[in-house]
Amino acid sequence: MSDRYVKFEDLAADMQRGVDYRIRSKDRGTSVVILAPHGGSIEPETAEIAEAIAGTDFSFYAFEALKAGAHGDFHITSHRFDEPDALNLVGKSNIAVAIHGRKDDGSDTVWLGGRATDLRDAIGAALRDAGFGAIPNESLPGVHAFNICNRTRSGEGVQLELPRSLRRRLATERKVLKDFCVAIRNAIQSTHAD
């Protein structure tokens, strides 16, 4: 399904903030931001997972559709995602980790993408060590220069694609969510200490 909007300005002209969508943003003055550009009803649970990873240590951003609808109704593809608060927060960070959702394919494997290959690989290793599946993302690699995760000061970020089944587990099983978040946070801290 194609996106209804190719840029945020068009979405904002048709939709009402606080009714149709919301933006949550916490600038904690860190060099790392954890974001969910397709939260709410677009890719359910991604905003909550991103917020849990960010905790109180990393900056956080989420764009969340508040109304149900087709996937493309509020989805702006990552290399066109230009919501001003996101651009500002990501643009002053050295690294961004974007949490995305994908359809189930029979596995709980996280697909790893983005231009920050060292961090991407460290996150993959940490997730596997914690018992999660994680492999390089070949179909949605997240390497476009304008991908929101790569619009950092360094021009690099990481994109994680989580299947629906894993997102449901993370939303309902506290220990699984904690293990997932700790793995990602440890990988970030070992490669990008503030």
The per-residue pLDDT for 160 is: 98
Full DSSP string of 3-70: -S-SSHHHHHHHS-BTTTEEEEEE--S-SEEEEEEEEETTSTTHHHHHHHHHTTTSEEEEEEE-S---
Predicted TM-score (pTM) of this structure? 0.96
The residue ranges of the chain whose pLDDT is under 70 are: 1, 70, 193-194
Residue 54 lies in a domain: yes
Residue 1 lies in a domain: no
Q: Which domain holds residue 43?
A: 8-191
The per-residue pLDDT for 193 is: 58
The per-residue pLDDT for 1 is: 56
Residue 2 lies in a domain: no
The per-residue pLDDT for 89 is: 98
The per-residue pLDDT for 194 is: 52
CA angle 61, 166, 65 (to 5 degrees): 40
Q: Name the pairing type of β-strands 32-40 and 95-102.
A: parallel
The per-residue pLDDT for 163 is: 97
Which CATH number characterizes residue 34's domain? 3.40.630.100
Residue 3 lies in a domain: no
Residue 150 lies in a domain: yes
**Number of domain units in the chain:** 1
Check if the beta carbon of residue 50 is closer than 8 Å to that of residue 39: yes
